[in-house]
């Protein structure tokens, strides 16, 4: 099967060739369910001690690396130690891990300096990797035969613990743009379009030789504020900007209804999400009154026009129309209440550099939100942050979520966190996304409702061939 990706070599998260290859060739220790809970994968069970500082992970005994080595507790411990000490893990739960040791014939013991409820979630985002001769060896259903920045060739791994893949091999091809990728699909040059952008969905769905599969993508799009800005430092101003934004219109007009409005960075389907959490309603009149009360009033000019209450700049990816369209709509909505948001199209590398140094007023991008650990890592202030917003108001609430030991404690802490994020918002949380993948009807796809079909490619097969049964 040939998969086409329409993204620059350094595209947005989860869209690049390297990310797709790792998904097809790697396996995580655990996996996250749609509701944010964990379920087994390479590890089949886990148990905390009474202090919540010792975690025992039970491993499968039939997991093999692509070089033929079986995953043993000794190899697993070494792999985990190498992964959790990798640079850039400062903001994650792995910073709490003090030791990792094997025990028995199927168990690894992780000791923590303090309780950290995010560890299981972080293990769900961590691939099982053995480093050998300065290369990574993985355990997934496919293994790399060759790879360049433009393409990769994969072959089925016959010792994959859940069963031999139904496809003998996969070729992944990177196209410079989304248009080139879906044109290749229409011509039959590829069998799967990795992501169908909103502007192409109508064309793809009209093609009878292709079937599209839509699913909710657990990435939210926020308008992130730098609270060091003279106006944005005020919580009342940030609340007013939230009230001025019509999120329903953003989803309808900016996303072609391929998504849903966002109220916070907490995944709406997460088991700990508070349905009673306060949320902003679209109310431009209330926004104007709040801005007036904060001292930012509209002033008339000598020529009869009005000066804006205040201005701020907003970085947005110049090469990605998903964010550009939303940014223009937000700009118009804020202008309606007298606030001037100046758009600054930038390359992703520039956005990342300026965000990390705090050199911005605001920006629009996307963030992962299904995992509470990812929300904590981005919004809770800490050393080594990828984005410096100056926001610290929710630090104590985040710490309560992190230290929670029971479901009830977690629900209570998340509810408190969402109240803080409403009372003192670090951003305007705009929308959650939905996206689609498109596949030639030559293939039987193991599709599940509201799930990303990419997660079980190993079960796909050519139409008419026997189905694979997961073990």
469 is a domain residue: no
Whether residues 388 and 303 fall in one domain: yes
Q: What is the structure's pLDDT at 338?
A: 96
Q: What is the structure's pLDDT at 439?
A: 95
Whether residues 149 and 235 fall in one domain: no
Q: Which of 400, 423, 12 is nearest to 197 (CA)?
A: 12
238 is a domain residue: yes
Residue 126 to residue 140: CA distance in whole angstroms: 13
Q: Domain boundary residue among 113, 133, 153?
A: 133
Q: What is the structure's pLDDT at 225?
A: 98
Q: Which of 220, 214, 204, 216 is nearest to 436 (CA)?
A: 214
Q: Domain boundary residue among 133, 160, 182?
A: 133
Whether residues 144 and 17 fall in one domain: yes
Whether residues 257 and 389 fall in one domain: yes
468 is a domain residue: no
Q: Domain boundary residue among 133, 161, 193?
A: 133
For residue 49, count CB atoms less than 10 angstroms from its CB and return exposed for 0-12, middle for 13-18, buried for 19 or more: exposed
Residue 247 to residue 250: CA distance in whole angstroms: 5
471 is a domain residue: no
CATH code assigned at 16: 3.40.190.10
Tens digit of each residue's pLDDT, the chain (471 residues): 999 998 755 544 445 888 899 999 999 999 989 899 999 999 999 999 999 999 999 999 999 999 999 999 999 999 999 988 765 555 578 989 999 999 999 999 999 999 999 999 999 989 999 988 778 999 999 999 999 989 999 999 999 999 999 999 999 999 988 888 888 998 999 999 998 877 777 777 778 889 999 999 889 999 999 999 999 999 999 999 999 999 999 999 999 899 999 999 999 999 999 888 899 999 999 999 999 999 999 888 777 678 999 999 999 988 777 898 999 999 999 999 999 999 999 998 899 999 999 999 999 999 988 899 999 999 999 877 889 999 999 999 999 999 999 999 999 999 999 999 999 999 999 999 998 999 999 999 988 888 899 989 999 999 877 665 556
283 is a domain residue: yes
Whether residues 292 and 417 fall in one domain: yes
CATH code assigned at 266: 3.10.105.10
Q: Which of 312, 171, 256 is nearest to 436 (CA)?
A: 256
Q: Is 363 left (phi over 0), alpha (psi -120 to 50) or beta?
A: beta
- List the domain range (segments joined by +) for residue 314: 217-433
458 is a domain residue: yes
Whether residues 164 and 41 fall in one domain: no
CATH code assigned at 69: 3.90.76.10
Whether residues 307 and 173 fall in one domain: no
Positive or negative: CA dihedral 376, 379, 381, 384? positive
Q: What is the structure's pLDDT at 198?
A: 74
Whether residues 341 and 447 fall in one domain: no
Residue 444 to residue 329: CA distance in whole angstroms: 40
Whether residues 235 and 373 fall in one domain: yes
Cβ contact 98:130 at 8 Å? no
Whether residues 7 and 100 fall in one domain: no
150 is a domain residue: yes
Using alpha carbons, list the distances in angstroms from residue 221 to 242, 259, 264, 369, 427: 13, 10, 10, 10, 10
Q: What is the structure's pLDDT at 195?
A: 87
Whether residues 376 and 258 fall in one domain: yes
Cβ contact 32:373 at 8 Å? no
Domain count, the chain: 3
Residue 288 to residue 294: CA distance in whole angstroms: 10
Q: What is the structure's pLDDT at 11?
A: 45
467 is a domain residue: no
Cβ contact 389:224 at 8 Å? yes
User: 433-471 in b/e burial notation, b at 16+ Cβ within 10 A?
Assistant: bbbbbbbbeebbbbbeeeebbbebbbbbbeeeeeebeee
CA angle 355, 358, 359 (to 5 degrees): 85
Whether residues 242 and 361 fall in one domain: yes
């Amino acid at each position: 099967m040939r998969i086409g990706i329409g993204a620059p070599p350094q595209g947005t998260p989860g869209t690049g060739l390297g990310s797709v290859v790792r998904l097809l060739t790697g396996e995580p220790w655990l996996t996250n369910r749609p509701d944010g809970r964990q379920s087994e994968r390479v590890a089949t069970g886990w148990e905390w001690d009474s202090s919540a500082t010792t975690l025992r992970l039970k491993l499968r005994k039939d997991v093999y690396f692509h070089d033929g080595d079986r995953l043993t507790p000794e190899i697993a411990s070494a792999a985990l130690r190498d992964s959790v000490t990798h640079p850039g893990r400062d903001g994650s739960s792995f910073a709490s891990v003090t030791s990792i040791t094997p025990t028995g014939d199927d168990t690894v013991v992780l000791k923590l300096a303090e309780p950290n409820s995010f560890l299981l979630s972080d293990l769900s985002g961590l691939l099982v990797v053995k480093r050998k001769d300065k290369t990574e060896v993985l355990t997934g259903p496919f293994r790399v035969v060759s790879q360049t920045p433009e393409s990769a060739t994969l072959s089925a791994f016959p010792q994959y613990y859940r069963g031999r893949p139904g496809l003998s091999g996969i070729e992944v091809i990177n196209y410079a743009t989304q248009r080139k990728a879906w044109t290749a699909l229409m011509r039959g040059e590829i069998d799967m379009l990795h992501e169908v952008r909103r502007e192409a969905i109508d064309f793809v769905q009209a093609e009878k030789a292709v079937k599209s599969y839509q699913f909710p993508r657990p990435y939210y799009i926020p308008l992130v504020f730098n609270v060091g800005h003279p106006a944005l430092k005020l919580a009342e101003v940030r609340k007013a900007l939230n009230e001025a934004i019509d999120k329903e219109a953003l989803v309808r007009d900016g996303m072609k209804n391929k998504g849903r409005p966002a109220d916070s960075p907490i995944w709406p389907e997460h088991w700990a999400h508070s349905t009673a959490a306060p949320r902003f309603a679209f109310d431009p009149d209330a926004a104007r009154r709040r801005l007036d009360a904060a001292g930012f009033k509209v002033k008339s000019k000598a020529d009869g026009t009005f000066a804006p209450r205040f201005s701020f700049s907003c970085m947005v990816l110049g090469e990605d129309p998903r964010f550009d369209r939303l940014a223009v709509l937000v700009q118009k909505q804020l202008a309606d209440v007298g606030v001037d948001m100046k758009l600054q199209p930038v390359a992703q590398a520039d956005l990342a550099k300026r965000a990390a140094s705090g050199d911005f007023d605001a920006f629009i991008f996307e963030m992962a939100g299904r995992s509470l650990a990812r929300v904590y890592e981005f919004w809770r202030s800490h050393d080594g942050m990828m984005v410096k917003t100056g926001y610290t108001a929710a630090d104590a609430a985040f710490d309560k979520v992190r230290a929670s030991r029971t479901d009830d404690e977690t629900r209570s802490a998340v509810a408190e966190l969402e109240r803080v994020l409403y009372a003192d918002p670090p951003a305007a949380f705009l929308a959650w996304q939905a996206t689609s993948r498109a596949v030639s009807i030559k293939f039987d796809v193991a599709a599940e409702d509201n799930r990303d079909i990419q997660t079980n490619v190993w079960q796909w097969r050519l139409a008419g061939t026997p189905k694979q049964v997961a073990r």
